[in-house]
Amino acid sequence: MGRSPCCDKNGLKKGPWTTEEDQKLVDYIQKHGYGNWRVLPKNAGMSYLFATNKVRFCLLLLEL
């Protein structure tokens, strides 16, 4: 038993983020707001899990 997966993990990117991906994430959030972190990767055209996007954005904020 157990919980069903939150999403299909096929085709998700793993590994370090590029500068372009960081900028894409920041631009999307500046334009559309935080909203729903679960739909952000799909709407922003990113290939990471929603939790990864959320953590990455928080880390970017700490760098400012």
Query: Is 53 within the bounds of a domain?
Result: yes
Three-state secondary structure readout of the chain: CCCCCCCCCCCCCCCCCCHHHHHHHHHHHHHHCCCCCCCHHHHHCCCCCHHHHHHHHHHHHHHC
Instruction: Read off the pLDDT of residues 46-59 as tens digits, 9 standing for 90 and up.
Output: 877 777 878 888 88
Query: Is 13 within the bounds of a domain?
Result: no
Please, are residues 49 and 10 in contact by the beta-carbon 8 Å criterion?
Answer: no
Instruction: Read off the pLDDT of residues 20-37 as tens digits, 9 standing for 90 and up.
Output: 888 888 888 889 887 887
The domain total for the chain is: 1
Please, are residues 37 and 53 in contact by the beta-carbon 8 Å criterion?
Answer: yes
Query: Is 10 within the bounds of a domain?
Result: no
pLDDT at 6: 61
Range of the domain at 37: 19-63
